[in-house]
Amino acid sequence: MTTAAPEQPADVVNRLRATFRTGRTKPMAWRTGQLHRLRELLTERGADVAAALHTDLGKSSTEAYRTEIDFTVREIDHTLEHLDAWLRPESEPVPVHLGADARAWTQIDPLGVVLVIAPWNYPAQLLLAPLVGALAAGNAVVVKPSELAPATSAALARLLPEYLDTDAVAVVEGGIPETTALLAERFDHIFYTGNGTVGRVVMRAAAEHLTPVTLELGGKSPAFVDRDADLAVVADRLARGKFLNAGQTCVAPDYVLTDPGTAAALEPLLARAVETLYGTDPQTSAEYGRIVNERHYDRLSGLLDSGRVVVGGEGDRADKYLAPTVLADVDPGSPVMQEEIFGPILPIVTVDGLDEAIGFVNDRDKPLALYVFTESEETRARIAAETSSGGLGYGLPLAHLTVSDLPFGGVGESGMGSYHGRWSIETFGHRKAVLEKPLH
């Protein structure tokens, strides 16, 4: 079987469902075999994927391997190492009234045919890491790469069928019309990564078939900096976390929340951190990425006058280059604070201390990540107890999502459900309750 372009979404889904019904995707050997093949794709053809990522987003090869290709290889290795244990039935105590010979346990079943819809910012990782979980859980999978990263979409559409079982894994390329057509079909789970507006479209379509969804969304992830923190370290880590992939990272620190004195001290340190990372002219740095397209470039340019420019502020539309930019004296009512920035602009907003910072976070949508830089155990404990966010990072942005057994996902407006490591098995499987009572 091939995934030739003219195949209609309904035919793709029917074909995969027929495969799933044969039971082919359930044995451990099929699952691990597919994971090994995906690993081979990434090791043998990683350079093709890296080249596509460079075309789409100006990602350096180092960054492409670190954040997408090797990231996925690690997810595969972790899954191969632990899958047996994750899938082992788990016994549960049985109440006395059922008798001493009764037993109860849970087992995880595959769901069936699942759909994975990926965005453009980490277009390989965010398609392949969910695919790892879906295959490991024994499903047939349709993956839909983002049309806004066309080179990566084309590379994956070419490579995945070369390596994986095409009767059980299909790549459907395209934009809104193709995705809308796919969403009309009945899936057993839909895993969507992207923005909340489309998340609602996905959830509405899924409701027609009572299909469960995982929504990996975004939002404004705050970084609270306490006055006791080592600000040189904070500036370095904030700059690395923010300007990776030119700020187009769902868990990037969106803005800094700190008191006015700390803000003043942080400004020159952030400027220095940017220079250390990318030199005096980041446009010439091989390590600095590009904005995905002109539309996003124009949107981001419109946010630059929301504050006083500490560093950056320049851009080159033809090159889709926007300098790593820090804005100070930013008013919470300004445009840059109204939407997820999703680009290389770091506003500093001042509050008078921890209470106001907690209030500021709680007045807004629950973020995908919240970062806290402090030496104070009490401050860390208060933020953990008094705020809600998808993830919480003390002292280091982004890194929590590299810990394979931490669930990665949002809460409220930043999403629902989670994945990575064993959490992917829970997401892409059904934990079935089983009771056994002997007949004699």
Residue 348, helix vs strand vs coil:
strand
Shortest Å, Cβ 193 to ligand NAD: 5
Rank residues 374 and 414 by Cβ distance to ligand NAD and give the closer one: 414
DSSP letter, residue 65: I
Rank residues 138 and 253 by Cβ distance to ligand NAD and give the closer one: 253
Tokens 């990434």 belong to 42
Single out the residue of 343, 344, 415, 429 in contact with ligand NAD (rule: CB under 6 A): 415
194 binding ligand NAD? (CB under 6 A): yes
133 binding ligand NAD? (CB under 6 A): no
Single out the residue of 187, 224, 278, 342 in contact with ligand NAD (rule: CB under 6 A): 342
179 binding ligand NAD? (CB under 6 A): yes
Tokens 């969507």 belong to 192
Q: In angstroms, rounded to a whole number, what is the distance separating the alpha carbons of residues 64 and 10?
A: 34
Task: Report which of 333, 57, 35, 355 is spatially closest to residue 165, judged by C-alpha positions.
Answer: 35
Rank residues 89 and 175 by Cβ distance to ligand NAD and give the closer one: 175
Task: Report which of 414, 378, 413 is spatially closest to residue 394, judged by C-alpha positions.
Answer: 378
Shortest Å, Cβ 322 to ligand NAD: 16
Do residues 418 and 408 lie in contact, with contact meaning Cβ atoms separated by under 8 Å? yes
Shortest Å, Cβ 69 to ligand NAD: 17
Single out the residue of 58, 344, 397, 410 in contact with ligand NAD (rule: CB under 6 A): 410
Q: In angstroms, rounded to a whole number, what is the distance separating the alpha carbons of residues 348 and 373?
A: 14
Sign (positive or negative) of CA dihedral 268, 313, 64, 214: positive
- Side-chain-facing half-sphere of 252: CA atoms under 13 Å: 24
38 binding ligand NAD? (CB under 6 A): no
Residue 271, helix vs strand vs coil:
helix
120 binding ligand NAD? (CB under 6 A): yes
The answer to whether residue 63 is catalytic is no
Q: In angstroms, rounded to a whole number, what is the distance separating the alpha carbons of residues 71 and 126?
A: 10
Shortest Å, Cβ 254 to ligand NAD: 9
Annotate each residue in 246-275 with x if it binds ligand NAD (CB under 6 A) or - if it does not, as one string: ----x-------------------------
Which residues contact ligand NAD by CB under 6 A?
A: 117-121, 126, 144, 146-148, 175-176, 179-180, 193-195, 198, 201, 216-218, 250, 340, 342, 368, 410, 415
Q: Which residues are catalytic?
A: 216
